[in-house]
Structure 1
Amino acid sequence: MKIGIIGLGSMGQMLVTAFCKSKAVSPKDLLVYNRTREKADRMQETYGVTVASSAEEVGHSADLLFVCTKPLDLLPLVKELSLPSQVHLVSVAAGVSIEDLEAVHTGPVSKVIPTITSQELRGVSLYTCSSRLTGEQQKQFASLLSSIGTAQEVSEQEIETATILTSSGPGLLAGIMESFAQAAVRKSPGLSLDTARKMLVETMLGTAQLLQSEQLGFDQLIERVATKGGITEEGLRVLEKRLPAGFDELFDMTESKHALLKERVKQQAANNQEKGD
């Protein structure tokens, strides 16, 4: 199967890295294109992938095509490409729906929200597919995503909320841990910030491994650590006063941002339709 990737921003490069690292795709079967040739050449030097001379070349050569452009660039590009109907089109853009994709491509379409941690073959790739996919196509697609981490199928109604937990999660967790480390240094200036950060990274790694290896729920791990009347139990009480409202605000902000982006995509599609008429 030939896989094409158009757009080598952070997510496009991550997909190249992950597919090659997992050996799920032979580099010779991975065709990439980027408007700035330098990024594509770097991917070729590092992994041996094939660099296309145009987006059209990728679109008309691939069986499975990942378009990793900005949301407002995606639909005009796909419409311009006039992809063959057998090409399985995959968008990684927020705000672009399956319905939007089906309006510009006659073949099977899917939506994926990747995560930067897939370059380490960990993390969750969220996906949803159109009814145009055959059972075999969906199985192959899920298998490909599973090769670079965990593939989780979700509905379009759920994907925006789930994105905060998966794709945005690494950055949000890093932000939380940075605040945690800086608070420790403010309390004990003799502790260097670099040391505090390294402690937290190792703690996160160990916590994740323990949760996974013993199949523990978060509540079960808390029970192990938080002894009655101990520091951890009291610390959790402090967090319970502050964190829920902050996370609620985070999800409310995300909902409004997605709504605004979807409205812009819909307006763009409507404007293009008027021009076409």
Structure 2
Amino acid sequence: MKWGIIGTGNMGSMLTTSLIRSGAAQADEITIYNRSSKKTAKLKEAFEDLDVAKTLPALCKACDIVFICVKPHDYKSIIEQVEGELHEHHCVVSITSPVSVEELEEKLSCQVARVVPSITNHALAGVSLFTFGSRISTDNQKLLREAFHHFSTPVEVEEAHIRVSSDIVSCGPAFVSFLLKEWISAANRVAGISEEKATQLTEQMIVGLGELFSQEIFTLEELMEKVTVKGGVTGVGLQALEDHTGELFVEMFKATQAKHREDKQSIEL
């Protein structure tokens, strides 16, 4: 099986690296393409057996599974350049939530899927979100699931929930990082601990927390119960959070849903 990666920006590079490092694919089974040769050269330097295509048609001819890892508004240009080179055996995979598999199937005659990755896949962890088109074969569904299982937990998501699922899985690391930076800053302002020390403690706490979930030692509810002692400090802190969180996350999800609708309306394939 030959894999093609169109676009080697942040997500395309992450996907290429994760496929190889996890053992899901060998470097000589992957062909990459990018308008800027600087980005492909960097990947080629890291994985010398990678094939670098000079044109999009050349990549399509060399590959069976083709990932489109570009910004949503660049999809139209990519599709126009590759649609004549794609046939029934090909499978095109979108990695962006605003472009649905139904929209891709209207433009392409090949098999179609969408897989939304996460930056956490860099660590061979986290979730990848799957949506399959109506024409994709059972074999290709299995192939994609097995490949991504090497470095993530594949979860199938319906179209109606792709945005909120992407917020949790793909945008989530940035959202949580913002909250943790606020947490660190507040610890410094209120209690005088240096931000450097607070950052070290916070990062290691998060690593440990992740391990608790990874090893299924506690659920979220169980964890809160285990740490909270009646009349203790944790309970007081949780009450303060409950009193002041308000509509914070509701407003965040409202904002991302609105941006999703705006993006879908402005994207032309």
SS of the residue 1:111 aligns to: strand
Picking from 125, 129, 136, the partner of 1:133 is 136
Are residue 203 (structure 1) and residue 205 (structure 2) matched? Answer: yes
Render the CA deviation track for 1:202-260: whole Å, top value 9, x for unaligned.
Answer: 00111111123234211100000001111111111111123351000011111100000
In the alignment, the residues of structure 2 paired with residue 159 and residue 214 of structure 1 have an alpha-carbon distance, to the nearest angstrom, of 26
Q: Paired residue for 2:88?
A: 85
Answer whether contact 1:79 1:105 (CA < 8 A) is retained. no
Q: Paired residue for 2:127?
A: 124
Render the CA deviation track for 1:87-134: whole Å, top value 9, x for unaligned.
Answer: 100011231111110111111101111101111101111110012112
Answer whether contact 1:60 1:84 (CA < 8 A) is retained. no
Render the CA deviation track for 1:130-157: whole Å, top value 9, x for unaligned.
Answer: 1211222111111111111111111111
SS of the residue 1:253 aligns to: helix
Unaligned runs of 5+ in 1: 270-277
Answer whether contact 2:64 2:90 (CA < 8 A) is retained. yes
Are residue 46 (structure 1) and residue 49 (structure 2) matched? Answer: no
Number of residue-to-residue matches in the alignment: 266
TM-score (norm 2): 0.96
In the alignment, the residues of structure 2 paired with residue 10 and residue 109 of structure 1 have an alpha-carbon distance, to the nearest angstrom, of 22
In the alignment, the residues of structure 1 paired with residue 140 and residue 253 of structure 2 have an alpha-carbon distance, to the nearest angstrom, of 33
After TM superposition, the structure 1 = structure 2 runs for residues 135-214 of structure 1, keeping only pairs within 5 Å, are 135-189=138-192, 191-214=193-216
Give aligned-pair identity as a percent.
32
In the alignment, the residues of structure 2 paired with residue 262 and residue 124 of structure 1 have an alpha-carbon distance, to the nearest angstrom, of 23
SS of the residue 1:262 aligns to: helix
In the alignment, the residues of structure 1 paired with residue 82 and residue 25 of structure 2 have an alpha-carbon distance, to the nearest angstrom, of 24
Q: Paired residue for 1:31?
A: 31
TM-score (norm 1): 0.93
Picking from 214, 221, 227, the partner of 1:225 is 227
Answer whether contact 1:211 1:221 (CA < 8 A) is retained. no
Are residue 76 (structure 1) and residue 77 (structure 2) matched? Answer: yes
Cα–Cα, structure 1 residues 214 and 80, in superposed 2: closer, same or farther, change >3 Å?
closer
Deviation for aligned residue 1:76: 2.9
Report runs of 4+ in structure 1 exceeding 4 Å deviation: none
Root mean square deviation, CA, Å: 1.2
Q: Paired residue for 1:273?
A: none
Unaligned runs of 5+ in 2: none
Render the CA deviation track for 1:45-104: whole Å, top value 9, x for unaligned.
Answer: 101211111122112221100010110111331132122232100011231111110111
Q: Paired residue for 1:17?
A: 17
Worse-superposed segment, 238-247 or 50-59: 238-247
Cα–Cα, structure 1 residues 214 and 68, in superposed 2: closer, same or farther, change >3 Å?
closer
Are residue 114 (structure 1) and residue 117 (structure 2) matched? Answer: yes
In the alignment, the residues of structure 1 paired with residue 177 and residue 168 of structure 2 have an alpha-carbon distance, to the nearest angstrom, of 13
In the alignment, the residues of structure 1 paired with residue 103 and residue 153 of structure 2 have an alpha-carbon distance, to the nearest angstrom, of 26
Q: Paired residue for 1:264?
A: 266
